[in-house]
Amino acid sequence: MTEEFKTLSQWVSFLETSILPVSRNSLADLEMLRLDEEQLSVLTVARIVLRDPLLMAHVLRYLQNHRSRHQETEIIEVEQAILVLGLDAFYQKVMGGLGSVEDQLNEHPAALTNLQRVERRAERAADYAREWAIRLNDRRFGEVYVATLLHDLAEMLLW
């Protein structure tokens, strides 16, 4: 990215129209899963999405931008999102055209290393938060996981 943004509104405009790159491993795992119809299910796809904060953000953003006027509640859990879309639409509309963060940051190895560090920290924090929510009998432990996974999204986007 060679542009320089000086205001918050410039950043917001840029990020609203940008397609977030996702982990190369996530893309490869989702493609392998798509080709293996016996293993392909909402839950197996969701497990992959939940490992990748940028992919999770991409899925939620897609749903928010394509929200049905009949939809009364917000979809926060990835399993719900994939069920609403259907697996075919998920692969065609949500996954179509996604690039990998490794390719995008190919010439910036330090940025890639730091991004991956923040992603691992977010995954670990989300695991802890989910476990605490379960121990405290919070029925919305999935939402707690997603919220924690995305907590450091701004830092990830800066890399």
Domains of the chain: 8-158 (1.10.3210.10)
Report the C-alpha gap between 89 and 79 in whole angstroms.
14
pLDDT at 127: 96
Q: What is the pLDDT of residue 107?
A: 93
Question: 32: which DSSP letter?
Answer: H
All residue ranges of the chain with pLDDT < 50 are: none
| Distance from the first to the final alpha carbon of the chain | 11
Distances (CA, A) of 154 to 15, 115, 135, 157: 10, 11, 29, 5
Look at the pTM and tell me if it is higher than 0.75: yes
Separation in Å, CA 16 to CA 41, 61, 63, 71, 151: 30, 9, 14, 22, 18
137: left (phi over 0), alpha (psi -120 to 50) or beta: left
pLDDT of residue 71: 67
pLDDT at 22: 93
β-partners of residue 100 are 22
Q: Are 105 and 40 in contact (CB under 8 A)?
A: no
**What pLDDT shows up at residue 3?**
65
- Compute the distance between CA of residue 90 and CA of residue 96 in angstroms, rounded to an integer: 9
Contact 145, 130 (CB under 8 A): yes
For position 61, what pLDDT does the model report?
87
Which ranges in 3-159 belong to alpha helices (H)? 8-17, 24-35, 42-49, 53-65, 78-85, 87-89, 101-104, 109-135, 141-149, 153-158
